[in-house]
Structure 1
Amino acid sequence: MSHPSSFTSTVASHAISITTLPPELLLLVLEFTMNPYQYHTERIFRTIAYSHVCRCWRSLLLGAPDFWTLLDLQFPTIAREFCVRSQDCPIRVSFIEAGSTHVSKDTLAWLSLHSRRIEGVYLATSQTVIRDILSLIQPASPFLGQFKDCLLPDDTHGPILSLDIHAHEVQRLNMDGFHAVNWPGLSERPTSLTSLVLTRFGERSYLPIPRLLSILSNCPKLQTLTLLSAFLPWPVGIANLLAVELPALQSLEVAHNTPGAVSKLLDRLSFPHTTSLTFHAHGTIDLSCLLPKNLARFGLAASSCIDDPPVTQLCRISPSNFMLTMHRPRTSSTIRFFIAPDDLPNIPSGSPSAMSMSMGTWKAALSSMPALRHIEVSGAWANDVLLSLMASTGPPALPFPPLFSHFETSCPALECLHVLERSRDDTQTQKLLDAILFTFKARHESLERKLPVLILETSRASARALMSAFAPRFAEVVERVDVRSRAAAPVSFDAAPMVLSRATQEAPASSPESKRRS
């Protein structure tokens, strides 16, 4: 068979053979049919299948070395042939241990000759096997030799290592589920790192705080930092720990089971105000254990003056997370706190959660965001959040002094409150409406201005009727009340639309900023 002439399509009553496609277009079509995950084994066998369709396709694929760049070490013979056919192209190496799959250093000795072409590594196996493979490819980067020596031999399955290498420098390092790591033995610093992800470590792998700060201080290009159950508790009796500046950081995700460790870590870091933060705080009752003393230090959700340049800030509070989103001209960032209660099975049945957070805790959180303009709230925490917005009757309930005296009232720049009502009876709805009115009467007396917009959203017709009847009572404290309906089926809280600040100028539809927001 010289070519697959049976593959045809009809356009304007003319049969067109697939063999009439230009070679470069046919290769592009074949690439689009590949599994998008760059380390998926299916890519290997689909490439082989395409090369056996006909002599024409085989010749075409053999002349396209970039189709043969994935080396799956589960199949050493195939991997070696792919390595040859990839010619001088950069290659990616993967090994996912399944069942009795075993890799031998002797059968993979040929890999060392091509290690300088490696641009990516994905290994899901024991630390012992990871060490063996790294010893073969360590010429790919000077960092790999020392990194290999830090991994202690351990035959337990579970660790996953993912690396990206460019110009012999490790740019992305992902470590998940490692059991035993000797961090003090790592003297080589990955100075070119743009992404560092450390997750689900065993106790013998936890990174000491001084070592963590030392590593970060040598990563000025770092854009992504994720630390989930990856570092030791904050050291006691050690003063003057290194302060680290991360000028290129775009995303920070952190979790730790020791109260205060996260906030202390943030106090030692400096990063742009456009950085997005995610806090995993499962089981945490007091948010002040996570929050740094002053979010304004990062330029996040803070402003020295309510009339500063246009800023749109949105705080979303749902039963499972607390997220702050900020938009400035040409920049954006988010802060999200995942605060799942311990009794998750009770949530679907509508049972009240045992996880409660005091009004003082919410006051501490919201008072550190004096330029916050938009709040969306739903679930059992709504009443406490509303109460925290009221003017203080005494000393502010904060673990630290307010930034400015006139910020004693939480969120003085608030422009819009969006309440997603989820109660199942009108009695609870009535109590929520009374709480909203009580809250904004107190704020009106303190700030001497009305709330510009109040949005009340519910899926129940009886609740909407109650809200519409109650709306005139808000006239003295709210400029505009908007009662909305929503689908009865639960919707993703994070997908709720953002109401933009009236002071914020929307970017043109074709601008980079508008594309980022979309």
Structure 2
Amino acid sequence: MHKAARSVRSPNGYGQVQTQLPERAPSLVMGVPEPQTNMLVVEKFGQLVRATTYLFNPANVPLCAPRPESAERRIAARLRGGTVRPLSLVSFASQSSKIEFSLEDDRFGSAPIHRLPGELLAIVLDLSLDHGPHSSERILRTITTSHVCRYWRNVMLETALFWSLIDLRYPTIGRHFCARSRTAGIQITFSQALFTDVHAVLTAAQNWLSPHIRRIESIHLSASQTTMKQVLYLCRSASPDIANLFAGLANRMTAGPTLFVEFHNARIRRISLDGVALSGRDRLSMFPASLTRLAFSRLHRDTCLSVAQVLAILKHCPNMKEVVLLSALAPRPGGATEEFDSSLLTHLPYLQSLQIGDASRAAVVSLLSYLSLPHTATLGIHCHGTHDLRALLPADLSGLRMCCPPPGPHISTALQVTPSHIALVNQRGSRHLSSVHFAVAPDDVPHILAGAPSLGSLLAGVTGLQAASSAPSVPIHAWAATFACLPQLATFELGGAWMYHILLALGAASAPPRGGSAGVTVPCPRLRCVHLVDTHRSPGVNILDALRQLESLERCLAARAQYLGSPLEMLVVDATFARESTQALSFVLTRLGNVTRRMVLRDRRSSLLIPNCAFLCADGTGMAFMPL
């Protein structure tokens, strides 16, 4: 009697073959199979052929080879081996697994990406996994990508970077990732959901994470502050600074706050707190002297920091490079009449970026008045709902040296105006030096530009202006007020919906006030170069709009040439014109050539314009045609 029948699982991973065979069944012969198992073997063989042949569809991946029919013949030849020999179902499964991997090597090896060195392939795969540095989606994509083929898997297993993100919610995955990351640093993340059993998660993590805690480089937590303190206590041996950070957090069960801590050589280098409530203890001890990056945002209103506390923290961390303070300052006691205290003056010689914004404008002004920043730093001020930007800056700008860069032949300042921000960018030659950014609301831009005279000291050294936008136009009087504050303006880049009113304000001449000297004044008398952008991006745009813009530009430049006695030095036009507009544009460009010394037309299809406009080049007007 035969023993009970059993199931055989194929080692190639295509599933279990539900074939009921006796324990001592006779061997199957491929040439003359037994009637009861013939269809099963043929079906299994067909599944193998279809799975390996169409592993990558040639229609989707045309560079993969070989063709399906040749692969099928090769599999059959490998199975037969040139002779008809016995082949049991178990041995068939074993050989099919080998053939599958052989065919996989042939197909995957022919793809161009598999000819990349392992180092380059690791970079490409890492970029494809980018879903945020602490997103659990990256973990799932890492697992999926590592199962594409053996070459990708070997490269990823040899690169510890792919296995450095550990989510405490997945203990099994976290244990394997810790092992595969070997001795490299790891990043801990935990996001508390509504029904997360925090006690069970942390109890399990204490067992499998303990041997790797000293390798922790960052902790990202999105949970209640009580849970944050529990995770910090679990990771307390990663850095001696965690104890003070643990003590500085209040116990709160409400979910929503976010905490991010970054370590370097077991010392905290970066702390980001969002929506966090601080405890009533000494908050200065929370932030070690090794700190270089600090961010406070949306602090609990009962535990917001005073200006003196922020200055004490910054003075305690002299190596600070980045500071973010958004809705984190307590209203300044004493109001706007508070006297300056020289003992609070704080020098930050290594600061690279400072972002500040708060509902209490007096607190913002007070904090900026006590800071001494280098001239290479970037200052960002969030001022939504503000119509006067000067009201957010201290009266004495000597400490904010990026607002008033030192004069020099190689230093220039550009004013950038967009619907969402107004910026002053300082450059030394072509290299970015520093900048001052004001984040504004689109509805506030006309009011801010109309009040530009209050920024006279900041705009006096501006030599370049960029104002190109498709947003609703800004009134003429707002641009006129801005141009009145730009006596050194030399280059101008404009376009979009703002262009018409800008040109009207730029070409308008005004008579001197009563009692003044005779003559007419023109805005920005030192203007030498005008760069026109977004004139006609696609043939679908109405050509009449582009012609109107160019005609407005011609009238503006003609008026300026009449009052100044000399034409514009240079005009640059970036455009994409249609073939049917060539004749009309030739006429407008001819008129523009009469009010400019040199004109550069850069068109992506300049061959459509050059034949019809060649007479302009030979006319002595100094025009040049340069394709992009």
Q: TM-score range by the shorter chain?
A: 0.7 to 0.9
Contact kept? 1:295, 1:368, Cα under 8 Å: no
Tell me by how many angstroms 1:273 deviates.
Answer: 0.9
Aligned to 1:162: 260
TM-score normalised by the chain length of structure 2: 0.62
Counterpart selection for 1:473 from 548, 552, 559:
559
Give the secondary-structure state (helix, strand or coil) at the position aligned to 1:164: strand
Letter aligned with residue 302 of structure 1 = C
Letter aligned with residue 221 of structure 1 = N
Tell me by how many angstroms 1:373 deviates.
Answer: 1.0
CA 1:4 to 1:101, structure 2 compared with 1: closer, same or farther past 3 Å?
farther
1:387 and 2:481 matched: yes
1:129 and 2:227 matched: yes
* Distance in 2 of aligned mates of 1:27 and 1:419: 43
Contact kept? 2:261, 2:271, Cα under 8 Å: yes
Residues 361-389 of structure 1, C-alpha deviations (whole Å, 9 max, x = no match): 31121323432211234642663343254
Aligned pairs for 1:472-491 (under 5 A) are 472-475=558-561, 476-477=563-564, 480=568, 482=571, 484=573
Aligned to 1:432: 505
Count of aligned pairs = 451
Aligned pairs for 1:377-416 (under 5 A) are 377=467, 379-380=473-474, 383-390=477-484, 410-416=485-491
Counterpart selection for 2:204 from 89, 107, 111:
107
Give the secondary-structure state (helix, strand or coil) at the position aligned to 1:109: helix
CA 1:423 to 1:222, structure 2 compared with 1: closer, same or farther past 3 Å?
closer
Unaligned ranges ≥5, structure 1? 345-352, 391-409, 489-518
CA 1:150 to 1:486, structure 2 compared with 1: closer, same or farther past 3 Å?
farther
Tell me by how many angstroms 1:67 deviates.
Answer: 3.9
Which moved further from structure 2: 294-303 or 102-111?
A: 294-303
CA 1:274 to 1:382, structure 2 compared with 1: closer, same or farther past 3 Å?
farther
TM-score normalised by the chain length of structure 1: 0.74
* Distance in 1 of aligned mates of 2:436 and 2:220: 30
* Distance in 1 of aligned mates of 2:388 and 2:176: 58
Unaligned ranges ≥5, structure 2? 1-96, 536-544, 578-628
CA 1:25 to 1:283, structure 2 compared with 1: closer, same or farther past 3 Å?
closer
Tell me by how many angstroms 1:15 deviates.
Answer: 5.2
CA 1:222 to 1:299, structure 2 compared with 1: closer, same or farther past 3 Å?
same
* Distance in 2 of aligned mates of 1:71 and 1:289: 46
Contact kept? 1:35, 1:42, Cα under 8 Å: no
Tell me by how many angstroms 1:157 deviates.
Answer: 1.9
CA 1:4 to 1:261, structure 2 compared with 1: closer, same or farther past 3 Å?
farther
CA 1:199 to 1:304, structure 2 compared with 1: closer, same or farther past 3 Å?
closer
Aligned to 1:498: none
Q: Which has the higher contact order (CA 8 A, sep 6+)?
A: 1
1:217 and 2:315 matched: yes
Letter aligned with residue 5 of structure 1 = S
Letter aligned with residue 237 of structure 2 = P
Aligned to 2:103: 6
1:279 and 2:381 matched: yes
Residues 387-443 of structure 1, C-alpha deviations (whole Å, 9 max, x = no match): 2543xxxxxxxxxxxxxxxxxxx444332344546269x7x6785355x43399999
Counterpart selection for 1:336 from 430, 434, 437:
437
Give the secondary-structure state (helix, strand or coil) at the position aligned to 2:182: coil
Letter aligned with residue 272 of structure 1 = P
CA 1:296 to 1:315, structure 2 compared with 1: closer, same or farther past 3 Å?
farther
Which moved further from structure 2: 269-278 or 111-120?
A: 111-120
Tell me by how many angstroms 1:72 deviates.
Answer: 0.4
Tell me by how many angstroms 1:95 deviates.
Answer: 0.6
* RMSD of Structure 2 on Structure 1 (CA): 4.0
CA 1:381 to 1:74, structure 2 compared with 1: closer, same or farther past 3 Å?
farther
Residues 283-322 of structure 1, C-alpha deviations (whole Å, 9 max, x = no match): 01221221232445433253565xx231121102233321
Give the secondary-structure state (helix, strand or coil) at the position aligned to 1:298: coil
Aligned to 1:406: none
Give the secondary-structure state (helix, strand or coil) at the position aligned to 1:450: coil
Aligned pairs for 1:296-307 (under 5 A) are 297-302=399-404
Letter aligned with residue 474 of structure 2 = A
Counterpart selection for 2:411 from 311, 318, 337:
311
Share of identical aligned residues, percent? Answer: 29
Contact kept? 2:272, 2:294, Cα under 8 Å: yes
Tell me by how many angstroms 1:34 deviates.
Answer: 3.2
Counterpart selection for 1:38 from 133, 138, 144:
133
Letter aligned with residue 471 of structure 1 = L
Counterpart selection for 1:455 from 504, 516, 530:
530
User: Max radius of gyration: which structure?
Assistant: 2
Letter aligned with residue 175 of structure 2 = R
* Distance in 1 of aligned mates of 2:142 and 2:502: 60
Counterpart selection for 2:365 from 255, 258, 263:
263
Which moved further from structure 2: 116-125 or 438-447?
A: 438-447
Contact kept? 1:363, 1:388, Cα under 8 Å: yes
Residues 183-235 of structure 1, C-alpha deviations (whole Å, 9 max, x = no match): 63442532222221211222123122111111111222222111111111223
Residues 456-492 of structure 1, C-alpha deviations (whole Å, 9 max, x = no match): 757532242133134222013375174857689xxxx
CA 1:185 to 1:299, structure 2 compared with 1: closer, same or farther past 3 Å?
closer
Counterpart selection for 2:239 from 141, 153, 163:
141
Which moved further from structure 2: 98-107 or 152-161?
A: 98-107
Counterpart selection for 2:178 from 65, 80, 83:
83
CA 1:437 to 1:50, structure 2 compared with 1: closer, same or farther past 3 Å?
same
Give the secondary-structure state (helix, strand or coil) at the position aligned to 2:528: strand
Residues 64-107 of structure 1, C-alpha deviations (whole Å, 9 max, x = no match): 55543221011123323433443332211001223422322322
* Distance in 2 of aligned mates of 1:381 and 1:338: 20
Letter aligned with residue 184 of structure 1 = D
* Distance in 2 of aligned mates of 1:322 and 1:29: 37
Which moved further from structure 2: 77-86 or 20-29?
A: 20-29
1:96 and 2:191 matched: yes
Tell me by how many angstroms 1:448 deviates.
Answer: 12
Contact kept? 2:374, 2:401, Cα under 8 Å: yes
CA 1:326 to 1:479, structure 2 compared with 1: closer, same or farther past 3 Å?
farther
CA 1:339 to 1:57, structure 2 compared with 1: closer, same or farther past 3 Å?
closer
Aligned pairs for 1:347-386 (under 5 A) are 356-357=447-448, 359=450, 361-377=451-467, 379-380=473-474, 383-386=477-480
CA 1:456 to 1:43, structure 2 compared with 1: closer, same or farther past 3 Å?
closer
* Distance in 2 of aligned mates of 1:60 and 1:471: 62
Which moved further from structure 2: 129-138 or 378-387?
A: 378-387
CA 1:452 to 1:431, structure 2 compared with 1: closer, same or farther past 3 Å?
closer
* Distance in 2 of aligned mates of 1:317 and 1:47: 42
CA 1:7 to 1:273, structure 2 compared with 1: closer, same or farther past 3 Å?
farther
Which moved further from structure 2: 127-136 or 313-322?
A: 313-322
Letter aligned with residue 152 of structure 1 = A
* Distance in 1 of aligned mates of 2:406 and 2:127: 51
* Distance in 2 of aligned mates of 1:32 and 1:336: 30
Letter aligned with residue 555 of structure 2 = A
* Distance in 2 of aligned mates of 1:56 and 1:37: 25
CA 1:316 to 1:9, structure 2 compared with 1: closer, same or farther past 3 Å?
farther
Which moved further from structure 2: 178-187 or 121-130?
A: 178-187
CA 1:294 to 1:109, structure 2 compared with 1: closer, same or farther past 3 Å?
same
Contact kept? 1:263, 1:292, Cα under 8 Å: yes
